[in-house]
Amino acid sequence: MAVRLTILGSGSRGNCAYLETDQVRLLIDAGFSGKQIRQRLATIGRTPETLNGILLTHEHSDHATGLKVIAGKLGIPLYANRLTLDAVSSQAKSTFQGKIFQTGCAFDIGDVTVETFSIPHDAQDPVGFLLRTESVSIGFLTDLGHATAMVLDRVRPANALILETNYDTQLLQADTKRPWSIKQRIMSRHGHLSNEAAAKVAEALISDHLSHIYMAHLSRDCNQPELAEKTLNQVFLQAGVNHVRLHRTEQDAPCPTLCLDASVQENPMEAPPQIAHPQNESGVVAAGALAPAKTINPQISDSSQASCDDHDAFFRRLMNDLPPTEEDEPADAS
Ligand SMILES: [Zn+2]
Ligand SMILES: [Zn+2]
């Protein structure tokens, strides 16, 4: 089975990933404008119209900005829990073709089993995902203030992990754009993972089968890829582990496609798959051994900044490296 993963972009200003198997084409979050998502999919020869679904972790705009176009206008099914669906519907003033799942449940979309689990983050009902096929498992773990034992257990089968490395603690503390209240919020147990916290997660997940870690959701102001990489590398160095490949992600351009199967063909599939979209089904596919992976460089034709200025002021400013303003602060901000 061919399993391809392309991080279309990741960082505090937008997050979107694309997963393709023999049967399905999925987005995980849609944190760029519809135009940006279309342009980024085009770099790997895909279009939004051929998507089978969008999996949504939570309603913050750096994950949901493109929903109005991709899920709304194009009618691509949106997989979310009830609270998150209500939140994005309200934000976008739009109704979506929602496929509601219960947090903690698993369901199938074609040949992909989607396992969902709760994560501690300042949103309505934020989740992480473990996407499983017959041969590989891919974990999505961003936007969490801390990793609980349950979270670690849920992503433990992952062969590839998209892991938040949001900020360097010293850079965040020294940052002059953010008031202390915002810094506290980012560093809180419902905020984001620092490089050091991500390293602890990686350390706890070291195994023979975990082979790829994407350093994701970096703050542009309060982190640097070299710092995140150095912090994670130290863990593997100390553990004597040399089979884990660290991947940097970029805000403005897709990553090379990771092919998690040795038998995959280099050319994209010709025809979009046709599948049903079951709701609230459960099922767990056994983890398999990870075949050797390889990457394909997409033809990157666009590296312009995502434009999503008209959405969700507070969380965009909190996580999008913009100085917060008084009117952005929710009345119940802790
Ligand atoms: Zn985010
Ligand atoms: Zn968030």
Beta strands in 218-312 (DSSP E): 245-248, 257-259, 294-296
Instruction: Using 50 as the pLDDT threshold, list the residues of the chain that sit under it.
Output: 262-292, 297-334
In a domain, residue 334? The reply is no
Place of tokens 């965040």: 172
Does residue 331 sit within a domain?
no
**29, 7, 10, 14: which is closest to 307 by C-alpha?**
14
- Please tell me the distance between residue 110's alpha carbon and the centre of ligand 1 in angstroms: 27
288-329 tens-digit pLDDT: 333 445 555 433 222 222 222 222 333 334 344 433 332 232
Task: Give the 3-state secondary structure of residue 231.
Answer: helix
Angle at 41 between CA 19 and CA 314, to 5 degrees: 85
In a domain, residue 319? The reply is yes
Q: Which amino acid is at 237?
A: L
Distance 57 CA to ligand 2 centre (A): 8
Give the Å distance between the CA of 311 and the centre of ligand 2. Answer: 14
- The domain that holds 10 is classified in CATH as 3.60.15.10
Q: How far does the centroid of ligand 1 lie from the alpha carbon of residue 108, in Å?
A: 25
Ligand nearest to the CA of 29: 1
149-164 residue pLDDT tens: 999 999 999 999 999 9
- Other Cβ atoms less than 10 A from the Cβ of 149: the count is 8
Q: Is residue 267 part of a domain?
A: yes
CA of 95 to the centre of ligand 2 (A): 21
pLDDT value for 247? 98
Q: Dump the DSSP string for 113-152.
A: EEEEEE---SSSS-EEEEEE-SS-EEEEE-S-SS--HHHH
Instruction: Tell me the CA–centroid distance for residue 112 and ligand 1, in Å.
Output: 24
Mean pLDDT, all residues of the chain = 83
Q: Is 149 a domain residue?
A: yes
Domain ranges, residue 100: 4-326
Ligand at shortest distance from the CA of 123 = 2
Q: SS3 of 164, please?
A: strand
In a domain, 84, yes or no: yes
Other beta carbons within 10 angstroms of residue 90's beta carbon come to: 10
Calculate the alpha carbon distances from 97 to 46, 49, 53 in Å. 21, 14, 10
pLDDT number for residue 1: 75
Residue 87 lies in a domain: yes
C-beta of residue 311 within 8 angstroms of C-beta of residue 91: yes
What integer pLDDT is reported at residue 261 of this predicted model?
77
Give pLDDT tens digits for 218-231.
999 999 999 999 99
Name the nearest CA neighbour of 142 among 6, 9, 263, 15. Answer: 15
Q: Report pLDDT for 294.
A: 54
**pLDDT computed for residue 97 by the predictor:** 87
- In a domain, residue 332? The reply is no
For the chain, how many structural domains are there in total? 1
**DSSP character at residue 50:** G
Cα 266 to ligand 2 centre (Å): 34
Give 143 Cα–ligand 1 centroid separation in angstroms: 5
Output the CA 264–ligand 1 centroid distance in Å: 31
Residue 295: predicted pLDDT:
54
